[in-house]
Structure 1
Amino acid sequence: MAFAVFKLLKRHQNLAANVSPIKFYCRARHTANTRNLFSRISPLGDPSLSVVPVLDQWVQEGGKVNYFELQRIVRDLRARKRYRHALDVSEWMSSKGLCQFLPGDHAVQLDLIGRVRGLDAAESCFSSLSDEDISKSYGALLNCYVREGLIDKSLSYMQKMKELGFATSLNYNDIMRLYIRTGQPEKSPDVLSEMKEEGVSPDNFSYRICMSSYGMRSDISSMEKVLEEMEREPHISMDWLTYALVANLYIKAGLHDKALIYLEKSEEKVNKDALGYNHLISLYASLGCKDDMMRLWSLEKTKCKKQINRDYTTMLGSLVKLGELEETKKLLDEWELSCPSYDFRVPNILLIGYCQKGLVEQAEDTLRDIVKKGKTPTPNSWAILAAGYVDKQKMQKAFECMTEALNLQARNTGWRPKPGVVSSVLSWIGDNGDIEQVEAFVSLMKTVITVNREMYHALMKAYIRCGKEVEGLLHSMKEDQIEADDEILSLRQK
């Protein structure tokens, strides 16, 4: 622990100069302690695995927990969309009584319950809250209704919040988002007007949603008027995200000169925000501006201390979009030398780029080179190649690559192959494979998708070609509740 604190003190020595030594030591110690606990939770990527045993073991080993540590862990897990694990921590935090559980924590927990267990569970949770704890949970429940796209229920509940005096800009923003999500963007500006009439000041997000709603309808003139109003508001601080949104709307409208003006405005606001650089790089890629992409990438590496996988993913994807595959390969080599953990989503971008250009063999060579270095691909890496070979009608290779993907499925239980690729491979192997090959492939396929008619079509064609009796196959179909269609019956008659 002492060594971890020392490293934090070294890293933040400039900050320490402005903070009392005792306060800074406590802050550094808290951060180090949080990291140690989070480092135990973070590797549990499978949502079906509870993190409660990890938390219990931490306490049993004498590990300290406090409100700020657990709150930060919940926030980090939510940011990573690991909602089930975030809910585990939140409920453990409230049930153990190790630290105070505030109204804001109840609101976060309700939102997580809605995401993980559904709307009924969220409503039940809301009704069980005391008057003291419920104040901040009204907005969380509204957010659950909005997320489900329930227009009438959302509007009715919003009216109740307004009558109680609980409605904030965040809640009005939720209603604006609801209209956009449900295909009614023309109603969002009316909500912005209502906010102002009710004396609720719109925030940056309010204006951005409204501008997006005009952009969706190609009403650039109205979008520009909202932007002008936003820039005039003294309580609004213009940020890179707003100008990047405007630039993107201009790009979609085909007004590239105006887009470039607002990309420059956005860049002036980015400062040291790596996410901002990524966003701008993607937008410049949409305009085909390679020089500006490379300039911003260089700036990001100078301004931001460290580039993570997300940053390389953005830059690699942008180079692929411009067809710069040689430079993409060089950047991938750079990433491999610096990455602390090998994430196959990064090289997959190059594999996709090769396949899009019809260079599937080059994509396969790249993947096999990575395997030779001791890395185990994800199923999707091989599935990308399978799709590429299907496009080139090299079905033997597509079959081999899909088999590789299926054999790796246990490493990524959430992976599902593309239905079109599966259909093509099943059709081909039914016409060309021997019985053992088809049975083995179908058996593997059943581990990732529900048994379907196409699997039986492939088996039936192989059985008939090889002169094998099909009565047992027809019986299996009946057990799987799949009726023999005309194609099956016609195959049987041959």
Structure 2
Amino acid sequence: MDQFFSKALTRYALAGRFYHTNRLKKATLYAKISPLGDPSVSVEPVLDGWVKEGKKVRIAELQRIIHDLRKRKRFTQALEVSEWMKKTGVCIFSPSEHAVQLDLIGRVRGYLSAESYFNQLKEQDQTDKTYGALLNCYVRQRQVEKSLSHLQKMKEMGFATSELTYNDMMCLYTNVGQHDKVPEVLAEMKEKNVSPDNFSYRICINSYGARRDLEGMENVLKEMESQPHIVMDWNTYAVVANFFIKADLADKAVDALKKAEERLKSKDRIGHNHLISLYATLGNKEKVLRLWNLDKTDTTRLINRDYITMLESLVRLGELEEAEKVLKEWESSGNCYDFRVPNTVIVGYIDKGMCERAEALLEDLMEKGKTTTPNCWGAVAVQYMDRSETEKSVECMKAALTLNMDKGWKPNLRVITGILNWLGENASIEEVEAFVGSLRSVIPVNREMYHALMKAHIRGGKEVHELLNQMKSDKIDEDEETKKILGTGQETTEGDLISRAASSCSGK
């Protein structure tokens, strides 16, 4: 599924089931809980402490806290607050509160736990809200059979009367790849006199686009445009434009993007960024720059996400000089440092084989005390190795190893093998030992590391017995290459003895 549309589904799923209507001004309890961003941190002690201090707990305030935590995807903490409300009797749960808790249980503990909670509810609490919340749990976890069975119960009880229920089913079919079922759900909605909303039509448009049925997609779009209760929005046309782009129908894509832009509010950053990306995919530099300049005119301050989108678009267009200008604008914007911004240009340099410029930008950032990542240095090292500039590859990999704060990063093994071989033949013992020491903190010790050390020791006239013992203790066996290296060492030693003897004789 198109990445943008997938994000839209997520936003819909989150927003659609927020059974909440109250929103108050910031309160002290909210201020205590809101900063606890780590999901592993329990909020229950904060709630208990609040009560022990004799402070009043307001239901509307707790509802607001749950709403905010859900919006920020801190579902575990939101569930804690909801369960605390129920356990302490602060609030007598209505079907709306039960629906919220059921939804949170589904997100945190899975649909089986949500199902169990639903089955324990009193009959008067099993309403359209709680039925809808359970359906959403099934849909979110792609339980097709359970969703269909549950929907049938909702129909029998007269609870399948909202567009939200049918939209859930369309989301389900979309997420499991059964796009052909989506128009059937839309048809059933209309048959049951449930008016489709913007999302209903958009998800149906997406289903036709995913099947490359562009005629069907355009027909649904025309129907949507003809509905008096529908206010056309920019992202419907953006979805249509994206499918036209994939089908290489540039003219139709541009027409759809024009309609999207007409419906775009001047300060809608998400919309502007999305249209900029689509125009870049079309290869339309003029439109990209025009929208960017509009952004700078209409928005009081551009955020890092805006700069990343623009830089990604310019890199896609191959406009690296233009990207450098935007990067300088970002540097002087006063925004907080975010490595993803310059990294977008670095990736562009690497993709174009411009290793020197990528390395220069990374060095400039480090000189300014800015954070870089081992991954970007490692990527430059790969490029240098591919160009047989091993010495430069070594320096970049050294930089990557000194920055290894991300425990998930692993260097390119082909490059590491090439570097170790080069170091063994060219570098000092101390340099090889330092590199291998750094490398061992990232990947398990291997034969190539020992081979590099052996080569350096032999060139330096040092014994390798201790290295062989260490290699044995690390359970690494000698192979033909090891014997060859040791044989070279033996030949060198014998050659030295002959040379010394000859010198002694001539000295007499």
Coarse TM-score class (shorter-chain normalised): 0.7 to 0.9
Greater CA drift, 223-232 or 141-150: 141-150
* Counterparts in 2 of 1:257 and 1:341: CA distance versus 1, 3 Å: same
Alignment of 1:240 onto 2:234: yes
Is the CA contact 1:47–1:82 (under 8 Å) kept in the aligned structure 2? yes
Please state how far the C-alpha of 1:63 moved relative to its aligned partner.
8.1
Alignment of 1:147 onto 2:145: no
Is the CA contact 2:377–2:397 (under 8 Å) kept in the aligned structure 1? no
Alignment of 1:119 onto 2:111: yes
Query: 1:48 matched to which residue of 2?
Result: 40
Alignment of 1:223-372 (within 5 A): 223-271=217-265, 272-372=267-367
SS across alignment from 1:270: coil
Aligned residues: 435
Is the CA contact 1:192–1:202 (under 8 Å) kept in the aligned structure 2? yes
* Counterparts in 2 of 1:359 and 1:108: CA distance versus 1, 3 Å: farther
SS across alignment from 1:140: helix
Q: Hey, what's the Cα distance between the residues in 2 that align with 1:54 and 1:458?
A: 54
Of residues 176, 183, 190, the one that matches 2:184 is 190
Query: 1:12 matched to which residue of 2?
Result: none
Which structure is larger by alpha-carbon Rg, 1 or 2?
Answer: 2
Query: 2:475 matched to which residue of 1?
Result: 474
Alignment of 1:375-414 (within 5 A): 375-377=370-372, 381-393=373-385, 394=390, 395-406=393-404, 408-409=405-406
Give the RMSD, CA atoms, in angstroms.
3.6
Residues 103-134 of structure 1, C-alpha deviations (whole Å, 9 max, x = no match): 44443443333333333333333334444544
Q: Hey, what's the Cα distance between the residues in 1 that align with 2:49 and 2:339?
A: 32
Please state how far the C-alpha of 1:435 moved relative to its aligned partner.
6.0
Of residues 216, 222, 234, the one that matches 1:222 is 216
Is the CA contact 1:309–1:339 (under 8 Å) kept in the aligned structure 2? no
Please state how far the C-alpha of 1:215 moved relative to its aligned partner.
0.8
Query: 1:165 matched to which residue of 2?
Result: 158
Is the CA contact 2:402–2:438 (under 8 Å) kept in the aligned structure 1? no
Q: Which amino acid aligns with 2:114?
A: A
SS across alignment from 1:474: coil
Residues 221-258 of structure 1, C-alpha deviations (whole Å, 9 max, x = no match): 11111111111222222111111111111111111111
Q: Hey, what's the Cα distance between the residues in 2 that align with 1:129 and 1:436?
A: 65
* Counterparts in 2 of 1:173 and 1:297: CA distance versus 1, 3 Å: same
Greater CA drift, 86-95 or 169-178: 86-95
SS across alignment from 1:260: helix
Is the CA contact 1:77–1:85 (under 8 Å) kept in the aligned structure 2? yes
Q: Hey, what's the Cα distance between the residues in 2 that align with 1:368 and 1:40?
A: 41
Residues 304-360 of structure 1, C-alpha deviations (whole Å, 9 max, x = no match): 444322222222221222122233233233333334533322232222222222233
Q: Hey, what's the Cα distance between the residues in 2 that align with 1:216 and 1:296?
A: 28
Q: Hey, what's the Cα distance between the residues in 1 that align with 2:234 and 2:137?
A: 29
TM-score, normalization: structure 1? Answer: 0.75
Structure 2 residue runs without a partner (length 5+): 1-21, 425-431, 456-466, 485-508
TM-score, normalization: structure 2? Answer: 0.73
* Counterparts in 2 of 1:41 and 1:313: CA distance versus 1, 3 Å: farther
Q: Hey, what's the Cα distance between the residues in 2 that align with 1:374 and 1:63?
A: 46
Query: 2:414 matched to which residue of 1?
Result: 424
Q: Hey, what's the Cα distance between the residues in 2 that align with 1:54 and 1:360?
A: 52
Is the CA contact 2:76–2:104 (under 8 Å) kept in the aligned structure 1? yes
SS across alignment from 1:267: helix
Q: Hey, what's the Cα distance between the residues in 2 that align with 1:330 and 1:191?
A: 49
| Larger RCO (alpha carbons 8 Å, 6+ apart) | 2
Residues 402-422 of structure 1, C-alpha deviations (whole Å, 9 max, x = no match): 31342x23xxxxx7336xx44
* Counterparts in 2 of 1:463 and 1:371: CA distance versus 1, 3 Å: closer
Structure 1 residue runs without a partner (length 5+): 1-26, 410-414, 446-453, 476-486
Of residues 170, 175, 178, the one that matches 1:176 is 170
Q: Hey, what's the Cα distance between the residues in 1 that align with 2:81 and 2:313?
A: 37
* Counterparts in 2 of 1:189 and 1:337: CA distance versus 1, 3 Å: same
* Counterparts in 2 of 1:328 and 1:156: CA distance versus 1, 3 Å: same
* Counterparts in 2 of 1:250 and 1:493: CA distance versus 1, 3 Å: same
Alignment of 1:201 onto 2:195: yes
Alignment of 1:76-95 (within 5 A): 76-92=68-84, 94-95=86-87
